[in-house]
Structure 1
Amino acid sequence: MPERTVSIASSVGLHARPASLFSQAAAKAGVPVTLTTKAGKSVNAASILGILSLGIGHGEEVTLSADGDGADAALDSLVELLSTDLDKE
């Protein structure tokens, strides 16, 4: 199962707008994606409520994992998204 680790670039972390944009992108990825914190808590990356429940702040590292055809491309795209300050767009 491919995995990617990324630091959250959004200045407010994965809250409100950044969480919404990320969860929508994860839902459209075409493969199930899991978001895991350093503390080991995991949620479905397409679930905005799940993401918000983790309280992920700016600069925190998370791991994304996916399985299936196109998993690598989906993870690369999502990592690029999380590496951007989504509050500035």
Structure 2
Amino acid sequence: MTERNVKIQSTVGLHARPAALFVQTAAKAPIEVTVAKSGGRPVNAKSILAVLGLDARHGDEVVLSAEGEGADTVLDELEAILTAPEPAGA
């Protein structure tokens, strides 16, 4: 399993547009992908309700995990979304 700790840079956190883009990106991956607040329980990164339920805000650290072929590529894409300073599409 590949894991990565990422600090959320989006000013609105992992909410609304960034969350939707995050989930859409994770859903394209043919492998299992999870996200958790640091120290928290991992949730399915392909579920918008689960991701929004994390209540991850600007400055929070999350743990991304993926297992299988292409895990690093998926985590690279998800990390790019989380480290963008402004919400996607803003």
Shared fold by TM > 0.5? yes
Do the aligned partners of 1:41 and 1:54 also contact (CA within 8 Å) in 2?
no
Q: 2-side partners of 1:66 and 1:77: how far apart?
A: 12
Detail structure 1 runs of 4+ shifted over 3 Å in the superposition.
none
Q: SS where residue 27 of structure 1 aligns?
A: helix
Q: TM-score, normalised by structure 2?
A: 0.90
Instruction: Specify every segment of 5 or more residues in structure 2 that has no aligned partner in the other structure, as ranges.
Output: none
> CA 1:88/1:44 → structure 2, altered by over 3 Å: closer, same or farther?
closer
User: Mapping of 1:41-52 within 5 angstroms?
Assistant: 41-52=41-52
| Count of aligned pairs | 89
Shift of residue 86 of structure 1? 4.5
Q: 1-side partners of 2:87 and 2:12: how far apart?
A: 8
Shift of residue 29 of structure 1? 2.2
CA RMSD of the aligned region, Å?
A: 1.3
Q: TM-score, normalised by structure 1?
A: 0.91
Instruction: Specify every segment of 5 or more residues in structure 1 that has no aligned partner in the other structure, as ranges.
Output: none
